[in-house]
A and B are shown apart, each in its own frame.
Chain A
Amino acid sequence: MVKFGIEFVPREPYWRIIYYAIQAEKGGFSNLWITDHFNNRNVYVTLTAAAIYTNKITFGPGVTNPYMVNPVFTAQAIATLNELVPGRVVLGIGAGDKTTLESVGVEMQKPLNAVYEAVDIFRKITSGESVAYRGEVFKTAGAKFLFKPKGGIPVYVGAQGPKMLELAGRIGDGVLINACHPKDVEYAVNCVKEGVQQASKRVDQVDVAAYTAFSVHEDLKKATKAAVPVVSFIVAGSPAVLLERHGIDVGKAEMIREALKANDWGKAFAGVTPEMIEAFSVCGTPDTCIERIGQLLKSGISQFVVGSPIGPNVREAIDLISGKIVPHFRG
């Protein structure tokens, strides 16, 4: 049975996010993901509040990266959370966002190595091991916690490119695929399967999640309007090959990129076309969202993550998802 996850960005105050998290838990969501960017509120403080005010939902950073925070500190935070709510914590980790890293002068070196090594260090140290590690990116000399961590914390690897997707399938207990369109998700799942096979695992041992830009409302126009800003940023950050796969004019994407750089939101948002919305979001009425989620499920995902903006009114959107969309897939 498909699991439903939900993502929040802690740009919002903690109380608003936790209100929605409680609502999502009551509404049948099984996973809560909190984004990790230095320019928003801290992910682990937000997750701690979620731990206190929720009862059963599984949660974790969605996703952190090994460049901004050394993997031993990430392991420390996650292991401590796992003491607070044992068995409800997961790690979501990826290579990070190049633009954000560059803004603080951090270079994204050898991303495949960095993610592989960070996951390896995370698993070793959260199992209570003393970690002497000489990797391409990370080195430790007998790092060990002075407390006894409860190990076995699942690791989800966030991935977009084919090599990272394959690595995610190979080393991850779960994979977070940044894609919304069935064509992209199908391609990504096939890459993940390659990695799963290399690790001699079964596909059903890996929780494969589509991490989507999502917007639902009973009024299609309102749902679409809410999705436009998020889609404009996705288009601006997408490589030409991905845009061309969806028949999107690369010149139009460039115009949006330039407008965003110039903080000309009106021009950027006006440049978003229906094709862009279709390619880079799951957006519409509950019925149209159900149809799209059904298509994504056929691609082989086991978790559907409702990401920003969720809807023009987040509270109403969570109610719509819980009341109409989740029950459709739970029979």
Chain B
Amino acid sequence: MDYRKLIEMVSVSKREALSSKLVDVILLSKNDEKMPSQLANTILHYWQQDTLMSESGLTALLEAAALLDPGKTVDVFTALELVDMAAQIREATVKT
């Protein structure tokens, strides 16, 4: 799934909330072992630079959240009324 394209469809007004909720999914996940270190390092870099709300930052967060906890990731998009995107993530993560 092209996470970048999906993130590009998220309106700017929802990006801060999306970023925060995806961070929660990642930090509270019990599936630590599923986090690729390169992706973790990328997220830490964006966090250090305060750019987790950028399209690149959100893409990395979404990729990590979908790997660690796809169900909660779908819930985040649903809660933010990004229903079409939630459906796409559900479909992609169920397939994988």
Interface residues of A (CB under 8 A from B): 12-16, 18-19, 22-23, 26, 49, 53-55, 313-315
Q: Is the interface of A mostly helix, strand, loop or mixed?
A: helix
- Residues in B with CB closer than 8 Å to A18 are 44
Q: How many residues of B are counted as interface, with CB atoms below 8 angstroms from the partner's CB atoms? A: 15
Contact (Cβ within 8 A) B45 A15 = no
The answer for the CA separation of A199 and B35 in the assembled complex, in Å, is 50
Does B76 belong to the interface (CB within 8 Å)? Answer: no
- Residues in B with CB closer than 8 Å to A15 are 35, 37, 40-41, 43-44
Interface residues of B (CB under 8 A from A): 23-24, 27-28, 32, 35, 37, 40-41, 43-45, 47-48, 50
Contact (Cβ within 8 A) B23 A53 = no
Contact (Cβ within 8 A) B27 A22 = no
The answer for the CA separation of A315 and B29 in the assembled complex, in Å, is 13
The answer for the CA separation of A22 and B46 in the assembled complex, in Å, is 11
- Please give me the residue from chain A that is nearest to B47 by CB atom: A22
- Residues in A with CB closer than 8 Å to B50 are 26
Contact (Cβ within 8 A) B27 A13 = no
The answer for the CA separation of A15 and B44 in the assembled complex, in Å, is 7
Q: Is the interface of B mostly helix, strand, loop or mixed?
A: helix
Contact (Cβ within 8 A) A315 B24 = yes
Contact (Cβ within 8 A) B44 A19 = yes
Interchain residue pairs A-B with the least CB separation, the first 8: A15-B40, A13-B32, A53-B44, A53-B48, A22-B47, A18-B44, A22-B48, A315-B27
Contact (Cβ within 8 A) A314 B32 = no
The answer for the CA separation of A105 and B30 in the assembled complex, in Å, is 33
The answer for the CA separation of A16 and B40 in the assembled complex, in Å, is 9
The answer for the CA separation of A53 and B35 in the assembled complex, in Å, is 18
The answer for the CA separation of A223 and B90 in the assembled complex, in Å, is 35
- Residues in B with CB closer than 8 Å to A23 are 47
Contact (Cβ within 8 A) B48 A55 = yes
- Please give me the residue from chain A that is nearest to B20 by CB atom: A315
Write the nearest CB–CB distance from A243 to chain B, whole angstroms. 35
- Residues in A with CB closer than 8 Å to B40 are 13-15
15 contacts between A and B (CB under 8 A): A12-B32, A13-B32, A13-B35, A15-B43, A16-B27, A16-B32, A18-B44, A19-B27, A22-B48, A23-B47, A53-B44, A53-B47, A53-B48, A54-B48, A315-B23
- Residues in B with CB closer than 8 Å to A54 are 48
- Please give me the residue from chain B that is nearest to A315 by CB atom: B27
